[in-house]
Amino acid sequence: MSAEATIDQETQNAIDIDRAKGDFHFPENHKYDAGVGLSTDTINYISDVKNDPDWVRAYRLKAYETFLSKPMPTNWATEDLNNIHFDEIRYYLADGQKPMRNWEDVPAEVLETFERLGVPEQERAFLAGVEAQYDSETAYSSVKEELEKDGVIFVNSTEGLKEHEEIFRPWFGKVIPTGDNKFSALNSAVFSGGSFIYIPKGLKVKHPLQAYFRINSENFGQFERTLIIADEGAEVMYMEGCTAPKFESTTLHSAVVELVAMKGAKIQYVTVQNWSSNVFNLVTKRGLAHEDAEVRWIDCNIGSRLTMKYPGVVMKGERARGEVISIALANDGQHQDTGAKMIHAANNTTSNVVSKSISVGEGRATYRGQVLIPKHLKGCKNNTECDALMINSNSKTDTYPAITVRGNQHVTQHEASVSQVSQEMLFYMQQRGISEAAAMSLAVNGFINDLVSEFPMEYSVELKRLIELEMEGSVG
């Protein structure tokens, strides 16, 4: 009845069944290729191709130096990071086209890729705007006309920094400075693609905006850069999805996402990632919440070889709120190292972290949390809950919460639990005629049920389906 300690090839293939949808790629057809490895030449090549303004080129080159000077954070993070060979990665692959506004104008194979992933269909059904990135650059970008008229900007980062410099530049790299960590520095040096969004004062965008990040090429690094600014009183929900085919060699995805919620604004950022098991996913995400503003990260991490991601919120204005809701599923051969960072920087700020992780087989789930409330503040609140579900005895889960509260005028709560899908629970469910795999996925869905309802409807259905498929492959 129990899952095997080591998983054979057949089972491994079955685990990857859910990624079959994304497991295809087309022959490469890139006009621009920065080649293999990283040097100042690579960066100049990218800047040349993209026709960067001088300030951006200088920013990149400086970031490259920062990247070189920073050691791998293996003093606290996994040694597996040493298996990333920066000199074997290709940093820029693009066909030199500007993003298209109509799907008809998108190159045939790129269009087919996104059609197979269901992106145009979702756009018609429930989205206010879509950006679709294929390797380094955005292939398609469109926002509903009425939003454009209202002054909403939804473009890729290249267009953002060139055509909206007056809004883009003051915030770019301000929420996450280049030197925040080694991978934010790398992204700052070689970034391309990603979204730039500006929502004007008081505008509440009803439908979500979505970006889809697709890796098509082997040995490739995707480094999108996203900046979302919601002006005073504005509201927006942004969703991102990601897939890559399963290559023999490793692929690197290292994004930087900065959110700025001005006074009274609200930004919700939803991620459902389903990377194939060869992807190193090392992402830095942080939001800045001004007075009465709210930033929520709703994050689901399935797949990848190693994910390191700790979405954060800096609560800079009074009564600002920050929230991280996260689900991580670590299957055999995967390590989900996720968590949250809550920095209270004003009085009466509130943060909430709810994290649920599931480890299956040899899968490993790590929670790292940081909550900082300095001494001079008063009336701050934090609630942290992290629950882990283990599917068999080989699973590993660890929790590193760091809650630093100075002063005594604050309220913090921390709860953690570790539970198992017990043999008795499985026997009970199977005795009702439910197969072992279906029983596992029922148990897992039950465990995350209250969090799934935080995802938009269309995503929660997808999420449940992904988990079902994931569990189907994980029982021997």
Partner 1 sequence: MSLVIKDLHANVEDTPILKGVNLEIPKGEVHAIMGPNGSGKSTLSKVIAGHDDYEITSGSVSLDGQDILDLDVDERSRAGIFLAFQYPAEVPGVSNANFIRAALQARLPKGEEIDAVAYYKDLYSKMDVLEMNRKFTARAVNEGFSGGEKKRNEILQMMMLDPQYCILDETDSGLDIDALKIVAKGVNAMRSPDRGILMITHYQRLLDYIEPDYVHVMADGQIVKTGGKELALELEESGYDFLKDGGLVNA
Shortest reach from residue 360's CB to partner 1, in Å:
17
DSSP code for 103: G
Shortest reach from residue 383's CB to partner 1, in Å:
20
Alpha helices by DSSP H, 192-348: none
CA angle in degrees (0–180, nearest 5) for 228-232-233: 100
Of 244 and 426, the one with the shorter C-beta distance to partner 1 is 426
Of 43 and 300, the one with the shorter C-beta distance to partner 1 is 300
Shortest reach from residue 468's CB to partner 1, in Å:
11
Shortest reach from residue 441's CB to partner 1, in Å:
10
Burial class (CB in 10 A: 0-12, 13-18, 19+), 1: exposed
Q: How many helices (H) and strands (E) does the chain have?
A: 12, 24
Shortest reach from residue 430's CB to partner 1, in Å:
4
Of 13 and 423, the one with the shorter C-beta distance to partner 1 is 423
Shortest reach from residue 436's CB to partner 1, in Å:
7
Shortest reach from residue 297's CB to partner 1, in Å:
22
Cβ-based neighbours of 415, under 8 Å, separated by 6 or more:
384, 385, 386
Of 103 and 447, the one with the shorter C-beta distance to partner 1 is 447
Residue with tokens 């009274």: 264
* Nearest by Cα to 223 from 135, 111, 332: 135
Footprint of partner 1 on this chain (CB under 8 A)?
1, 419, 422, 424-425, 427-436, 438-439, 442-443, 445-450
Alpha helices by DSSP H, 73-220: 108-116, 119-126, 145-149, 157-163, 165-171, 182-190
Residue with tokens 């927006």: 236
Shortest reach from residue 426's CB to partner 1, in Å:
8
DSSP code for 1: -
Of 159 and 436, the one with the shorter C-beta distance to partner 1 is 436
Of 96 and 446, the one with the shorter C-beta distance to partner 1 is 446
CB 358 within 8 A of CB 448: yes
Q: Is 28 helix (H, G, I), strand (E, B) or coil?
A: coil
Of 121 and 450, the one with the shorter C-beta distance to partner 1 is 450
Shortest reach from residue 473's CB to partner 1, in Å:
17
- Count of Cβ atoms closer than 10 Å to residue 218 Cβ: 16
One-letter amino acid of 391: I
Cβ-based neighbours of 291, under 8 Å, separated by 6 or more:
263, 264, 317, 318, 319, 320, 346
DSSP code for 84: -
* Nearest by Cα to 245 from 350, 434, 116: 116
Of 81 and 425, the one with the shorter C-beta distance to partner 1 is 425
Of 40 and 419, the one with the shorter C-beta distance to partner 1 is 419
CB 71 within 8 A of CB 81: no
Q: Is 127 helix (H, G, I), strand (E, B) or coil?
A: coil
Residue with tokens 């057949």: 10
